[in-house]
Amino acid sequence: MQKTAVYLTTLLAGSIAVSSLLNRPTPLQNQLFAPAVAQSTDAGANSNFVTAVVESVSPAVVRIDSARASQRSQSGTVRGMGSGFIFDANGLILTNAHVVDRATSVRVTLGDGRSFTGEVLGKDESADVAVIRIVATNLPTVMLGNSAQVQPGEWAIAIGNPLGLDHTVTVGIISATDRAGSAIGSPNRQDRFIQTDAAINPGNSGGPLLNQQGQVIGMNTAIIGRTQGLGFAIPIDRAQGIAAQIVG
């Protein structure tokens, strides 16, 4: 059976939602980000640890609406929707490159309802990572974890905007790490991915995948078409290294 990796951006042409395809790779390390401080969260002792994570992280998760010209659309414009997360309080946001692919306009909506024009500072299409900037300060930010320490069986929490349902939370586990692009139907991508069974859908692209401490361990990017429980995220170590290059 042929596997097809599917991007998680929601594209809106008129009132029709469609999802498009994934591909692509690049490396380096970061200095821009403060290291995550380990927090002791015992899921057994705190059965409501998911609620605590969501309350902490959700304000830093954003909705990204984009528009690009298209001769195939009656209106001449195709609109897309994805997710992202604030990693710098001065308005820097991580998302997938395909969320803002060929975008002529980008709109970022915060968890508190405020909306800003977004500027694409740069993107690495081969790795599917982009950085957006909005003109704002003192914004809530996520805490970045260490994806190299992620192990199968650990809790995984996804927050995003699937099909326009803002700040949807789903929970699962880490199903596997170090998945090759060829294993998920994207042979041209040389990167490795985190696999999760937390439900992710079109519109989740660019949203965070979190551990039980509320640290971002990955950025949701793809699913395998016509399957359930097979979602994939770019390891945060990889994404933040690219972001550091973009920001300079």
Q: Which residues are catalytic?
A: 98, 128, 205
Residue 205 and residue 8 in contact, taking contact as beta carbons nearer than 8 Å: yes
Instruction: Kindly tell me the burial class for residue 139, based on how many C-beta atoms sit within 10 Å of its own C-beta (0-12, 13-18, 19 or more).
Output: buried
**Cα dihedral sign for 112, 114, 120, 126?**
positive
Token pair of 143 as six digits: 């805490």
**Token digits for 234?**
């770019």
- DSSP-derived secondary structure letter, 53: H
Q: How far apart are CA 83 and CA 241, in angstroms?
A: 19
DSSP 3-state assignment of 52? helix
DSSP codes joined into one string, 31-90: SSSPPPPP----TTT-TTHHHHHHHHHGGGEEEEEEEEE-TTSTTSEEEEEEEEEEEETT
| Cα dihedral value 170, 145, 47, 169, nearest 10 | -20
Q: How far is CA 199 from CA 108, 125, 137, 222, 245, in A?
A: 23, 24, 32, 11, 31
